[in-house]
Structure formats: C-alpha cells, structure tokens
Amino acid sequence: MPAIDITADAKELGRALRARRKALGISMVAAAEAAGISRITWHRLEKGEPTVALGSLLAAARVLGIGLYTTDAGTTPAQAQAPEASLPLRIRPADHPQLGRLAWQMDADATTLAPREAFGLYQRNWRHVDVAALQPGELSLIHALRETFGGDWPGV
C-alpha cells in the first residue's frame, strides 16, 4: 500500500489558520499564548508542517473558533455536529462570577487572563467554586476549558 501524502492538506490547513487569525486581528504571539503552545509551534502550524502534534492543532483551532470534526462517508460537513463555542483569547474574570472569586489576588491593572491561566485557577481552586451558582456562560467556559486543556472536575 502506498504512503499517503498529507503535505497538501497540512499546507491548506495552515493557510486557513493564518487567514482566520489575520481576519480576527490577532497576533501570532497572542494566539499561541491563548492556545498554550509556543510561538514556534504556532508558526509551524501556519506553515503547514504535517509533523506538528495533534493537540497543538486542536488548541489552535479552538482559539480561532475553527471547528475540526470528522464525517461519516456520505455525510456533508453541514450535517456534522459542530463543536462547542471556542475559547476567547482573553477571559475577563469580572464576566464570570465564580472565576472572579478565584482571581481575587490579581493586580488591579490585570483585568484579563489567558485561557490557560483561567483553567489553572478553576482546577486548583475548584473546592471554592459554588457549582450551584454557575451561570450558563461560565459553565460553557468551563466546559470549553476542559475540552481544550483536559482535566476532570467533579460536579460539572
């Protein structure tokens, strides 16, 4: 069986990532930070290098709001189930009451967190979260963080 050449697909995906990032007006450094990967890895993704880890690609796609999904034979992409909403590049604790309670130690000037920072705050301090008081938007954020970075929190 001949080897499959994925180079063209990787380059096309890289161009799509770059175009989306540019359309959103996001710098490569900010996008890489939000995805929790290095700027070099982000550059390799946009360049279309097929050897970049799948986890890096999934994190980059999540940050840019690009849905990656599979379809069964005969199913069009429009019929496939879309993934949950993507993570924002920066998260304002003030917009999420429980996260705001966990981020009490933040500098007054630091009004936003990178998604990985928010993930860490939730994960380390979950015992202090009032799960019953979670609003739908914050619950969606938590699910997106878990899906992007992994981890399992009880009661969510």
Domains and their CATH numbers in the chain: 7-79 (1.10.260.40), 93-149 (no CATH)
- Tell me the pLDDT band of 80, cut-offs 50, 70 and 90: very low
**113 has which bridge partners?**
91
- Tell me the pLDDT band of 149, cut-offs 50, 70 and 90: confident
- Of 85, 40, 49, 41, the C-alpha closest to 67 is 85
> What DSSP element (H or E) covers 98?
helix 97-102
Q: In angstroms, rounded to a whole number, what is the distance separating the alpha carbons of residues 129 and 112?
A: 19
**pLDDT score recorded for residue 46:** 94
Q: In angstroms, rounded to a whole number, what is the distance separating the alpha carbons of residues 58 and 22?
A: 18
**pLDDT score recorded for residue 7:** 86
pLDDT in tens, 92-142: 888 899 999 888 877 655 678 878 888 888 988 888 999 889 998 898 888
- Of 103, 94, 84, the C-alpha closest to 141 is 84
Contact 119, 88 (CB under 8 A): no
Could you give the 3-state DSSP secondary structure of residue 91?
Answer: strand
* Alpha-carbon dihedral 150, 152, 153, 154, rounded to 10 degrees: 160
**pLDDT score recorded for residue 86:** 62
Mean residue pLDDT of the chain comes to: 79
**pLDDT score recorded for residue 89:** 73
> Is the model's pTM score more than 0.85?
no
- To the nearest whole percent, how much of the chain has pLDDT over 70? 78
Q: Which of 12-26, 38-52, 72-86, 94-108 has the highest mean pLDDT?
A: 38-52
**pLDDT score recorded for residue 79:** 37
